[in-house]
Structure 1
Amino acid sequence: MDPSKITVAQWIDQWIAAGAPGRKKVKVGQRTLERYEELLRVHVKPKLGTKLLQKLQATDIDKLYTELEAKLAPMTVNHVHSCFNSSLSTAERKGMIASNPMTRIEQLPSAGESDHGLALDEGELKTLVCGFKRSVTMYVPVAVDAATGVRRNELLAFRWTDFDADLKTLKVERALEITKKFGARYKPPKTWRGKRTIALDDGTVALLLAEREKHQRLMAGVPDGAVVDLSLIRLPDDALIFPGMPPAGQSFSFARPRDPSAFSKRFRRTADDLGFEGFEFHHLRGTHATLLLDKGVPVHTVAERIGDDPAVLLRNYAKRKRSQTADTSVSSVINAMSAGIYGS
């Protein structure tokens, strides 16, 4: 098609179909691609879709952003800008437009204040985690996340093959991803930092061993309390540490993942009931990092543990409440933390 006749909507469709490549000419992940498509379809196409791509002006974009800022959260408008700008930058790189009109807009949409969350102190964390003991399916994953700081979709992708009780470690090898096109699937970590081995404290190891024993008994049909040699019972290689319950009428599978969204919503409801209103599941990650940094554990050590960039970690940490202490041994710190998390 003649580039001079392509509309903004047609270009967006082409860009999405190509995998939404950015300035590094790399396609984004499926989940991100679907989010980009949704943002542009809902917020950009209705207003600017019929305009010819080569006739798109900075003033058109300014007007769009003014309208969006009046009805959407700042972070959402910023996300719209990011993917729309990326699509127009690609159009410029491919010679579809002479220059990107984004470079001439009046003001970039503000992302607002990022939700870094208010980190809990050790006493608050103990109260929160112990409050989940009433939930058979939520307590262990919540406790493990509080003790490791992993991302939710990393937590829900853990397999028993990732757990080494002797070495007291958990390997982060993958993350769960839910997409419209492929459904539930697993993907490698986004960056090289994401793939890591996490040291575990004694309390978390004991908790995971007890959970594995439950799975082994379930696998073999052995009732609780019956004396058997569980070492003879081998779980499937794809068995998840935190599998999901089957829908009505379907059989249980150790490899069936939990629904991440439902998991987060259930956490939020219970946290609210416990008096931690507004505390989201991902705030456990920030709490874990903050407590370690408060104890004096070096930034690079904490960043390596949670799979984050040290600079990003420091920026987020600066926006959370924290205290001053000094203890540079990560092993002693996480053992002390677990004693508070699990209680007596």
Structure 2
Amino acid sequence: MNKTITTEDSLINMSSGRGDPQEFSYDPCEEPSYDILILSGVCTCISLCGLVGNGVVLWLLGFRMKQNPFTVYVLNLAIADFSLLLVLLLNLSLHFISPEYCISYYVFFLINSILFVLFLFCYFAGMYLLTAMSMERCLAALFPLWYRCHRPKHLSGILCGVLWALAALFATLMFTSCFFGESCHQLFYVLSSVNFVLFSFIPLLSNLALFIKLRCGSQRRHPGKLYVAVLLSVTFLFILGFPFSVETFLAVFYPRIYYVSCVLASLNSSINPVIYFLVGSCRRCQFQCSIRAAFQRLFEEGATSEERSQVPGDAVMETSV
């Protein structure tokens, strides 16, 4: 695609009502350029690996392990990541099929726009779910007595449902504003900026602050495996999600930023299963156990850590959080 166009631009083009394909900067019948072929190939390989990894997470947590408040979040996050990777693969397939069969311009952009809305839905949902899981982990560490005694039993399931609905609402707003209004770019700017600050930057700062408090406070404690896994996931979300959050601002200077951000988004959705396995299997700086054993060690610790924690004010708190 020698002339690059971002997917949110395709939404704007479809909503503008202009009828001549020559008015636009992208030809679906044009062969992809060499650099985009490389980026697309990398994104495809990462996405396929991520589908396998998230599929393993879904199988283990859905059918092989007992559910607890944190596995509910992880299971929903795996669903969001699996769906996002699938949408990315479909979008890449569309870009390679369109030159081969010279798909109609309007059909191409309609399908491309729908896939982008689905991508936003999964991307937002994954971001919100990871933020909720990290915030609940912080609450369990900072207020163990309150968390043990007053946490609603079905909080995880209810909160996951609310966050899926919130992601669907924002994706629907993007779709309607682009097809039936003229505020597509402005809405995308606002959503990208607000989501990045509230659901990426702030969770990273709060988790880092908690980590420092646990390691350097007067009652020094060792962070548990689940907390380390959540901290790593939030960190990678911040690093890998940053280019996508600022993509529309940088596209003017670097048109290929959309494809770079898609590669990083696929990496972000693929890396969580790797984090779970490495953290769960790590013991004395060695990685020695099966995938299922690593997951059980990681998530069963998260389910029992608050039960083992002592009430604040006790002489010593030796257990992990």
TM-score, reference length from structure 2:
0.26
Which protein is richer in strand relative to its size? 1
Which protein is richer in helix relative to its size? 2
> Relative CO higher for 1 or 2, CA cutoff 8 Å, sep ≥ 6?
2
TM-score, reference length from structure 1:
0.25
